[in-house]
């Protein structure tokens, strides 16, 4: 999807997803999923044939299954949203994005890959040239914008093409940057996501240096942490360090320690949603880095984000 940089010379359009090319890429220490996803994103980031469906689709059939499932943000005018084919993705995400933002430059912060799944965190820098969905970028032509992006991928059974992609663009933060505070102003700072405070590469981690034993430990730790924090626990998980950093989208903000995280993230969530459950769809890890995607469900029995209780069962997709 829209979220990465860095061309992989072994994976060029047209010859890119052959099993031989993927094996060559993997021989250099990359997980299978990264070899496929990085090839696709090279085409996106380099704007290759971006507005020519015939030429673009001929390239992209090497990366995507025909019935690709792409889940993303809902917009009221349906100009941007979910897709169930490559053609729908081109019309309802790729083209609207490129007509809203001028020559976006993406920087990947974290990129995690396993055999069949990949996940990443990135941000793009651009200027507004038009609207996206019903977000009125046309009112701020030429102004700088930061686009926060989460992506999760699943490969097909053969491991050569992408079958599923969930992409979250922080539309609420796009509105915030345009002067629309559509969620209550949080006590924590909004609009900041920094790379990991480590020397593990940018994006982190460097696959060939990631320790599989660390990944096994990290996966168990993250699964336990998510279940404790969002379902069963009281307070935050013991897996967090006292000076931990938690980055949330617009409306949440950035917590710089456990006290802030418990007070401004977990407490409002637990007061707003009762009878919570967690459904993990993807949990992948490389070394000490993990990506998690799924749903938190709960009964809306308390005030949350300024919304009075509805007593409805709600499902919240998270990454």
37-70: per-residue pLDDT in tens? 998 988 888 889 999 999 999 999 999 999 999 9
**DSSP alpha helices (H): ranges in the chain?**
19-27, 32-45, 53-60, 86-89, 95-100, 171-177, 212-227, 258-261, 267-272
Give the mean pLDDT of 237-259: 96
Backbone dihedral region for residue 243 (phi beyond 0: left; psi -120 to 50: alpha; all else: beta): alpha
Distance in angstroms (rounded) separating the CA atoms of residues 272 and 308: 9
pLDDT band, residue 185 (cuts 50/70/90): very high
- At residue 149, the 3 state secondary structure works out as strand
pLDDT band, residue 5 (cuts 50/70/90): very low
pLDDT band, residue 18 (cuts 50/70/90): confident
Residue 166 phi/psi, 5-degree rounding, is -105, 125
280-311: per-residue pLDDT in tens? 999 999 999 999 999 999 999 999 999 999 99
pLDDT band, residue 197 (cuts 50/70/90): very high
Burial of 27 (0-12, 13-18, 19+ CB in 10 A): exposed
pLDDT at 17: 61
Give the mean pLDDT of 112-122: 96
Burial of 280 (0-12, 13-18, 19+ CB in 10 A): middle
Does an H or E element contain 68, and which?
strand 64-71
pLDDT at 46: 87
- At residue 230, the 3 state secondary structure works out as helix
Distance in angstroms (rounded) separating the CA atoms of residues 107 and 202: 9
Give the mean pLDDT of 87-96: 94
> CB within 8 A of 295, min separation 6: which ones?
278, 279, 281, 315, 316, 317, 318
Report in angstroms the alpha-carbon separations of 152 from 2, 60, 123, 149, 165.
12, 18, 15, 10, 6
pLDDT band, residue 78 (cuts 50/70/90): confident
pLDDT at 39: 87
pLDDT at residue 16 is higher than 70: no
Average pLDDT over the chain, rounded to an integer: 92
261-272: per-residue pLDDT in tens? 999 999 999 999
pLDDT band, residue 2 (cuts 50/70/90): very low
pLDDT at 128: 98
């Amino acid at each position: 999807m829209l979220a990465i940089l860095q061309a992989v010379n072994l994976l060029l359009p047209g010859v890119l997803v052959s099993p031989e090319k993927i094996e060559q890429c993997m021989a250099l220490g990359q997980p299978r999923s990264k070899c496929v996803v990085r090839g696709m994103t090279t085409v996106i980031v380099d704007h290759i044939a971006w507005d020519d469906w015939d030429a673009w689709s001929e390239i992209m059939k090497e990366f995507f299954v025909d019935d690709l499932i792409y889940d993303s943000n809902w917009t009221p005018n349906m100009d941007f949203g979910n897709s169930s084919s490559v053609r729908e993705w081109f019309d309802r995400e790729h083209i609207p994005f490129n007509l809203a933002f001028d020559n976006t430059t993406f920087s990947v912060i974290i990129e995690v890959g396993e055999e069949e799944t990949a996940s990443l965190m990135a941000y793009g820098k651009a200027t507004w040239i038009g609207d996206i969905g019903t977000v009125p970028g046309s009112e701020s032509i030429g102004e700088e914008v930061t686009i926060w992006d989460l992506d999760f991928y699943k490969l097909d059974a053969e491991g050569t093409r992408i079958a599923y992609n969930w992409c979250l663009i922080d539309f609420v933060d796009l509105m915030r940057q345009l002067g629309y505070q559509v969620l209550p102003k949080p006590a924590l700072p909004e609009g900041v996501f920094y790379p990991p405070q480590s020397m593990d590469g940018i994006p982190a981690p460097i696959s060939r240096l990631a320790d599989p034993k660390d990944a096994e430990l990290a996966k168990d730790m993250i699964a336990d942490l998510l279940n404790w924090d969002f379902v069963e626990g009281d307070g935050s998980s013991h897996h967090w360090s006292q000076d931990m950093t938690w980055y949330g989208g617009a409306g949440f903000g950035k917590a710089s320690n456990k006290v802030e995280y418990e007070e401004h993230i977990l407490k409002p969530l637990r007061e707003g949603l009762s009878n919570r459950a967690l459904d993990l769809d993807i949990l992948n890890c490389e070394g000490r880095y993990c990506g998690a995607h799924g749903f938190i469900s709960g009964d809306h029995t308390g005030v949350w984000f300024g919304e009075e209780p509805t007593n409805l069962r709600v499902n919240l997709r998270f990454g």
